[in-house]
Structure 1
């Protein structure tokens, strides 16, 4: 199944609207339930003021793609009593107050245990638009893609620059809504310069797929967001919010995270030379 078989989703609408404004969308990520469910809901509500896309993370005990910041946040959420139902609660509450496109970022094992059809049905009913499942190979994604299609959800694949154009075409053909390109090599939370070949990789993807390209993994400052946003359709930031919350315990963490989101959004609206 291809993106053309899925009706226009909220994710596609949002990315189309930001493209019409000649800017990249700001996508923010935070694990549900971090550091507690109530605190994460407070933070999500404030982030929704500035975000075009919100990725709600489903905490998992073995997040292999993630670096120390997200690993620690996942562990803390699980210790605080996180349940899968909390993801749907978070999506539902955000859908009631925000026009952002709402995505779930999860690993495959929790979805597989919960049941792909049941998970897709609950996500769509809560107001979700898409799911990112980075450890689900496209060759093994048939059950999920069928369930997602049935419930009008996009599936966003994470693609790597070291694979062939043939495989990229397969991933892009199976995915919908957006393609996720890593801004740096390695796990999430990398702090340092963006990959020097990122722009070239995005250009390569544009030659393969008409889907919007989101850039994340390693974007943490307004300056980096401005650079990535000059050639990507969406800029995705996650670990920087976790580090901000960790450095500011209690209610201050949500406020400081929202301040970071505001500055990132301003970076995406600023001329590139001002961010150099």
Structure 2
């Protein structure tokens, strides 16, 4: 199943796509795989975070998860192996959220080629404005990886036009100007931001940074998909069932869609 098929399937069911996020190697290597097995039945796509020592876009929950994973020996190579193992479990699209430095350290062509061969569908690149390194973006696309970039509520019309020009998987709309994290509610302007982006591109628009409950899912349901990240990682930290959280989010998405 490719990205377009995943979004169309969710749309046919009358709801936005549900995209869980898990940090590779958290709470442990096997714990990550157990979590992946738990969330995959609920997921339309799965986002896997590559642990990184300086995750500027991540809030404290995901930062802690990265720190734990790195202390336990998780690495780019380890993440590559986990992607390969998750691919053996599912045909759903897998996206890697990674900062730029690990790509440059491995060499873009090697990094992209190995992850593509492991079964990755695409890359989410939070710290790369696409027009700042067009050669790297084109190399990823030539190798066959979809590219996803972030837009924020403060993004200008010109910035939106630039980002959507180079996005090929979906467009990631950050619900707040800030870092990832759980929130009781999303800003009122989320819907307006999604509509502004959708006016510029036929690609799906996904909302992330803050979807953590039935209520916030309802607020985000104007988008084509929602990412659930910090709330899942927090549930993993506390040993709570991931399925219960995803069921609540899915209820919110369906309620909003039929409202």
**Structure 1 pair 12/37, CA: closer, same or farther in 2 (3 Å)?**
same
Distance 2:109 2:250 in 1: 35
Check whether the contact 1:43–1:258 (CA below 8 A) recurs between aligned residues.
Answer: no
Question: SS of 2:47's equivalent?
Answer: strand
In 2, Cα distance between equivalents of 1:260 and 1:19:
21
Deviation at 1:271, TM superposition (A): 4.8
2:185 to 180, 187, 193: 193
- TM-score normalised by structure 1 residue count: 0.89
**Residues 29 and 236, structure 1, Cα contact 8 Å, conserved in 2:** yes
Gaps of 5+ in 2: none
CA RMSD of aligned residues (A): 1.7
* Pick aligned residue for 1:233 from 220, 224, 241: 224
Figure out how many residues of one structure are paired with residues of the other and give that number: 259
Counterpart CA distance in 2 for 1:273 and 1:172 is: 29
Aligned to 2:233: 242
Hey, what's the Cα distance between the residues in 2 that align with 1:183 and 1:167? 16
Shift in Å, 1:186: 1.4
Q: CA deviation at 1:161?
A: 2.4
| Aligned counterpart, 1:41 | 33
Q: Is the 8 A contact 1:185 1:195 kept in 2?
A: no
Give the C-alpha shift of residue 147 in structure 1: 2.0
Could you tell me how far apart the structure 2 residues matched to 1:29 and 1:269 are? 20
Q: Which residue of 2 aligns with 1:50?
A: 42
Distance 2:118 2:258 in 1: 41
Counterpart in 2 of 1:61?
53
Q: Deviations over 1:16-73 (max 9, x none)?
A: 2222332100001111001111111111111101111110000000001111101111
